[in-house]
Amino acid sequence: MPELLPLLDEPSPERADASRNRQAILAAALRLVQAHGVEEVTMDAVASAAGVGKGTLFRRFASREGLMAAVLNQSEIEWQTSVISGPPPLGPGAPALARLLAFGHSRLRLNLDHGALIRAAGASGARSVAAASFASMHVRHLLGELGVRGDLPLLASSLLAPLEVPIVEQQVHGEQMGLERISAGWDDLVRRVVRAD
């Protein structure tokens, strides 16, 4: 029997190692950011928490901005995963309205966390079009399940707009509104939009 050739998409042991390394760094950085806030997290602290040298950190991410952009991306991916396949009501298995409300609450909290990350990521911090499309398609899908008729892409965009980072930051930091009040306001908006059909 001939020796098996390695499959094309099977990473070499070296690459698999680098990838594990990268995941460990991102996980450590995200934990630190969530625990202490972006401003408090230094490259030294991330290197130490991930058990790698500071040189490795800079080799992989070029700069603190580069690392924060990767952390932002990682956080977005984890959130998308919990929407697609996490426990209900954010994930599948709950009624569409409960899912939509859970989506808004969790997006609101995520965006508030992401404000500081976006700034720390500098020029690379603009949220990707792919991330925006995901949120839009999810909301559209749930509106469809709820029997809402009309221009669903635009309605989805209208429901997502109040959750955007600058708006939520202005409400929380500028107008001293609490997250509970903002969540309740979003629920009211959604219920009004859905009830109209």
DSSP, collapsed to helix, strand or coil, labels residue 62 as coil
Does the footprint of a second copy cover residue 177 (CB under 8 A)? yes
Q: Quick one: 49 or 152, whose CB is closer to a second copy?
A: 152
Does the footprint of a second copy cover residue 130 (CB under 8 A)? no
Binding positions for a second copy, 40-59, rule CB under 8 A: none
Q: Are 47 and 56 in contact (CB under 8 A)?
A: yes
Residue from 16, 62, 77, 154 that binds a second copy (CB under 8 A)?
Answer: 154
Write the single-letter amino acid at 168: V
Beta-carbon contacts of residue 16 (< 8 Å; ≥ 6 apart) = none
Minimum CB distance to a second copy, residue 52 (Å):
37
Applying CB under 8 A, what is the total number of residues that bind a second copy?
Answer: 31
Residue from 43, 98, 167, 172 that binds a second copy (CB under 8 A)?
Answer: 167
Q: Kindly list the distances between the CA atom of residue 183 and the CA atoms of 8, 9, 49, 143, in Å, as whole numbers in the listed order.
A: 47, 43, 34, 18
Does the footprint of a second copy cover residue 102 (CB under 8 A)? no
Q: Quick one: 59 or 149, whose CB is closer to a second copy?
A: 149
Q: Are 134 and 80 in contact (CB under 8 A)?
A: yes
**Which two structure tokens, joined as six digits, stand for 183?**
């969540």
Q: Quick one: 54 or 173, whose CB is closer to a second copy?
A: 173
Q: How far apart are the first and last CA of the chain?
A: 66
Q: Are 100 and 139 in contact (CB under 8 A)?
A: yes
Write the single-letter amino acid at 162: P
Minimum CB distance to a second copy, residue 42 (Å):
28
Question: Which part of the chain contacts a second copy (CB under 8 A), choosing from 58-66, 76-84, 95-103, 163-171?
Answer: 163-171
**Which residue from 116, 162, 115, 117 is spatially nearest to 135, judged by alpha carbons?**
162
Does the footprint of a second copy cover residue 7 (CB under 8 A)? no
Does the footprint of a second copy cover residue 196 (CB under 8 A)? yes
CA-angle at 55, arms to 52 and 61, nearest 5°: 90
Minimum CB distance to a second copy, residue 69 (Å):
19
Site for a second copy, rule CB under 8 A: 129, 132, 150-151, 153-155, 157-158, 161-162, 164, 166-167, 170-171, 174-175, 177, 181-182, 184-186, 188-189, 191-193, 195-196
